[in-house]
Every structure is written in structure tokens, then in C-alpha cells.
Amino acid sequence: MSFTTRFAPSPTGPLHLGHAYSALLAYDMAQAANGTFLLRIEDIDQSRARPEWEAQIYEDLRWLGITWDDPVMRQSDRLSSYKTALHDLWNTDALFACTCSRRDIAEAASAPQEGGAPLIGPDGLVYPGTCRTNGRSSGVNPLPENAALRLSMNYAATTTATPRIGGGVFSFTETGMGPNGETGLIEFPAQAAVAHIGDVVLARRDMGTSYHLSVVLDDAAQGVSHVVRGADLFEATKIHVILQRLLGLSTPTYHHHALIRDDGGKRLAKRDDARAISLYRREGASPSDIRAMVGL
């Protein structure tokens, strides 16, 4: 199988050392495999994406010595593909409309009858199910407007409409490592996804899509065979595998890498402008200094 990977930054701030590590690692893996390295701009959050940051991404990557095959994919150009997929899912009863606020969810999840502490999944609080009965009533109905669309995880776990689902076990291959050393064949029962992930949002009211839906459709559209990214997204991969099954897409191989931490051992966040590649560069660092800093 030919090797195609991608780097998928959001243009919402400067690229920092953690991004440099991720991009260089993916690029080096593509080079070593004689494969393809692609770029994708994850700008579905138009309230935070800025053209200046996008321009800076290209500049920083070029300076690091990274080249990519055209075209660059931009998520804001793909809204109609996301909508088509949502339509398909809606018409199979995989989705329901949700009008809960964050506060409604927090309150329902911690209500005494739920018992115990609210569960936190890879996408935040496990949805307590308030709007679960809001599915399409019958036949093919239009997508609801002005509501978030959630995946019914119970549907995903039990449907027999899609080959290889139906109360079974989901799996993917991990060639790197999850946060707890998970590697190799990663298997998780569908029922565990119901309990520990729950009904995740696939389309936010304000966006018409979500990170999870977009990333799965985009990786498939770009022909990505290997996803290289930080271990903070390891648990979210389970959501991605489930979506791939429901949408009839193949599951790439995943390579999650350790996160670059600051000197105090804390993980680098977007707001750590002090770690911006452009700043190191202005201070006279070379691309090989950056490689050395991230251990490549």
C-alpha cells in the first residue's frame, strides 16, 4: 500500500514546537516510505481562523524544509461534502437533533438519578441522552436547521445496515502509541463506545460540521493511508473509526506520537506563543536547531 500522510493544522494561532514535531515526523515518515505528504488547513471554526495564521503556516513549514503536494485542502471549501454525509446519516437514523446548551448537559449529566460522577469521554461529558428521541420520524425528512446533530452511538453499535457493525468490536492499527502505551491492534467493543463515548456532536449548530466528521471525510478524500498526530487524539480515534464504518470508508493506520512538553513538563498549548517557531527563527535558530529541540 502506498504511504500518504498529512499535516492538518488549524490557522488559529502560531505553529509552535509541538506542531513542528508533528509536521516533521509525518514528513520524514513520508520521505522514508517514498510516499506522499499533504497539507490540510482545518478552518471550520471561522470565528477563530485567520488568513494571517494560514500564511504563517506555509511560511513556517517551508522554512523547516517541508514540502507538500498540491492542492492544499481547506475545510472551509468542503462544507457541501460534510452536508452530504450528514444527509446520508440522517436518512439512516444515525443522527438526532439536539438543542441542549452546555449547561443543560452539565446539569442532566450530574442529576442524582444518573448516579455517580458524570462520565467524561474523548469529546467531553458523555451526553446524558436528553434529546435522543428527536430522530427523524419516518421516511426521508430534511436535515433539521438550528440544532446540533448528534450521532446515536447506540445506533452505531447495533445497526446491521453497515457491514461489520452490529454489536461487534471496532479496531484500528496503531504504529505509534496512545497515552498509556497502547500500540498494535487496538480493539474496543461497540458497547464500550456507547457507555464511554456516547452521542457525540457531528454537526455543531454554528458550524454545520464538527472536527470528528470533517477529519474522517477529509482523510478519506485526501487518500490518507497513515494518520500521524499527537497522542492527545488517540481516544478520539475511536470516534473516527466508528464514523468510517458508518460512512463506508476504510480506516487508515494511525501513528500517535508523544506530545512535546515545555521545560516544566507541561504540554505546550496553542497560546504558548513563546514557543512559536517564528519566534525561535527571529532569535536566530536554524531549522536543524528546531529538529534537535524536538528530538528529530
Residues binding ligand GLU (CB under 6 A): 8-10, 42, 215, 229, 233
Nearer to ligand GLU, 150 or 212 (CB): 212
CA gap 246, 55 in Å, rounded: 35
CA gap 16, 53 in Å, rounded: 12
8-state DSSP, 21: H
Q: Which does 131 bind (CB under 5 to 8 A by kind): ligand GLU, Zn ion, none?
A: Zn ion
Q: Is 253 helix (H, G, I), strand (E, B) or coil?
A: strand
Q: Is 132 helix (H, G, I), strand (E, B) or coil?
A: coil
Write out the three cell numbers for 219: 482523510
Q: Which does 215 bind (CB under 5 to 8 A by kind): ligand GLU, Zn ion, none?
A: ligand GLU
The Cα angle at residue 211 between residues 215 and 197, in degrees rounded to 5 = 105
Residue 17 touches Zn ion, criterion: CB under 5 A? no
Nearer to ligand GLU, 144 or 252 (CB): 252
Q: Give the footprint of Zn ion on residues 112-141 (CB under 5 A).
A: 130-131
Nearer to ligand GLU, 10 or 159 (CB): 10
Strand partners, 201: 150
Interacting residue with Zn ion among 24, 39, 85, 100 (CB under 5 A): 100
8-state DSSP, 100: -
The closest alpha carbon to 239, from 207, 204, 202, belongs to 202
Task: Give the number of residues in contact with Zn ion, rule: CB under 5 A.
Answer: 4
Write out the three cell numbers for 199: 452521542
In the complex, what is the shortest distance from the CB of residue 112 to ligand GLU, in angstroms, rounded to a whole number? Answer: 37
The closest alpha carbon to 189, from 238, 248, 152, 118, belongs to 238
Q: Which does 8 bind (CB under 5 to 8 A by kind): ligand GLU, Zn ion, none?
A: ligand GLU
In the complex, what is the shortest distance from the CB of residue 106 to ligand GLU, in angstroms, rounded to a whole number? Answer: 25
Q: Which does 89 bind (CB under 5 to 8 A by kind): ligand GLU, Zn ion, none?
A: none
Binding residues for Zn ion (CB under 5 A): 98, 100, 130-131
